[in-house]
Amino acid sequence: MRPLLAAAALVAVLILPLRADNAPARPAGTTRLDLRSAAVLGLIEGVTEFLPISSTGHLIIANDLLGLESDRPLFGANGEPLWHHPPSVDTPSGVPLTLKLAADTYAVVIQAGAILAVVLLYWRRILSAARGLTGNDPEGGRLLRALMLAFLPVAAVGLIAHDFIDRHLFSVRAVIVAQIGGAILMFAAERWRRRSHRILSSKDARDLSPAEALRIGGLQCLALWPGTSRSMVTIIGGYFAGLTPPRAAEFSFLVGLPVLAGAAVVKSLSSGTSMITVFGWESVLFGIVVAALSAALAVRFLVGFLSRHGLAAFAVYRLVLATALGLWFSA
């Protein structure tokens, strides 16, 4: 619990002085994301991506506190409007470029750092899965099958619901609801795990049946609601499939690779150019590097922590966070 509290304290020290009320006014034209803010967002992404507390939810909160939630149209140095999608036959009024759009894109794109961390830590299992694709590694082939089946449901639902989620669920209020709901689910799952005799210490992710992998993928769809946590629902799905907490966490890391990569690619293609226009390349690359380093530490911490304590401590953290957010943003 101490590393979790230390990370939360570090994030608070960096963020709280930058609350929107105290932040300097943003210029009308393009602006670079300062490196301090980029470091804060990268740290939050890395620390929270694989912990069952929701990276997207924490980044939405951070964007609000850092003053990155403005929906006002941005203008260039000469006063010309900047466009995410310029006026066209289909959208005569066009879609103006805003700070919020750039910040929401940034929050997804810097997931590349978390992807890099998992690739470096679990390269042997990833290589095994790749060899399974060619038929040279039967165990790797079974792991690859489980990963793809767990990925397909969330990929399909994510593509269908992408626009609705962006319009209606990227808010602090939605995050508070998800944090509370997730905490309740975690308490219930942890109680079930401790009382059940179905947890098999010898079972590995490659031993998951197609039906079990698909059920984990179905649970991942819940994490499309910001603040829920993809890691949390995948670990709980692993519990129900008979994986121990550490092995459920490792499967969560691995299945996160196609999920995170897919989200980053879709977001980059849809609004990556707009993000670069507003923030510049240097801030994006710096955020990715910070996310990679902090994610590597978080992954190592989580596996050891879950083997000793399970999910309950994270559920308590989620309830405390939801309460604090409710008080903070209602003040």
Q: What is the pLDDT, as a whole number, of residue 168?
A: 78
Query: Could you tell me what percent of the chain has a pLDDT over 90?
Result: 48
Q: Give domain status of residue 44, yes or no.
A: yes
Residue written as token pair 């269908």: 160
Q: What is the pLDDT, as a whole number, of residue 197?
A: 57
Q: Give domain status of residue 149, yes or no.
A: yes
- 295 versus 266: which is more confidently predicted? 295
Does position 152 have pLDDT exceeding 90, yes or no?
Answer: yes
Q: Give domain status of residue 298, yes or no.
A: yes
**Looking at the 3D structure of the chain, how many domains does it have?**
1
Alpha-carbon torsion angle 48, 286, 284, 13, nearest 10: 50
Q: Is 240 strand, coil or helix? A: helix
Query: pTM for the full model?
Result: 0.82
> How confident is the model over 267-290, as pLDDT tens digits?
899 899 989 988 888 899 999 999
Q: Give domain status of residue 162, yes or no.
A: yes
> How confident is the model over 206-249, as pLDDT tens digits?
999 999 999 999 999 999 998 899 999 999 999 999 898 899 99
Q: How confident is the model at residue 4 (pLDDT cuts 50, 70, 90)?
A: very low
Q: What is the pLDDT, as a whole number, of residue 116?
A: 94
Q: Count other Cβ atoms within 10 Å, centred on residue 148.
A: 17
- 19 versus 216: which is more confidently predicted? 216
Alpha helices per DSSP H over the chain = 2-15, 35-49, 55-65, 99-109, 111-121, 123-133, 138-168, 172-195, 210-220, 230-240, 245-279, 281-309, 312-330
* Token pair for 121: 């830590």
Q: Give domain status of residue 173, yes or no.
A: yes
Structural domain including 244 reads 2-19+34-75+98-330
Kindly report the backbone phi and psi dihedral angles of residue 33, in degrees, each rounded to the nearest multiple of 5, phi listed first: -70, 120
Q: Give domain status of residue 90, yes or no.
A: no
Does position 6 have pLDDT exceeding 60, yes or no?
Answer: no
Tell me the mean pLDDT in the region 128-132: 93
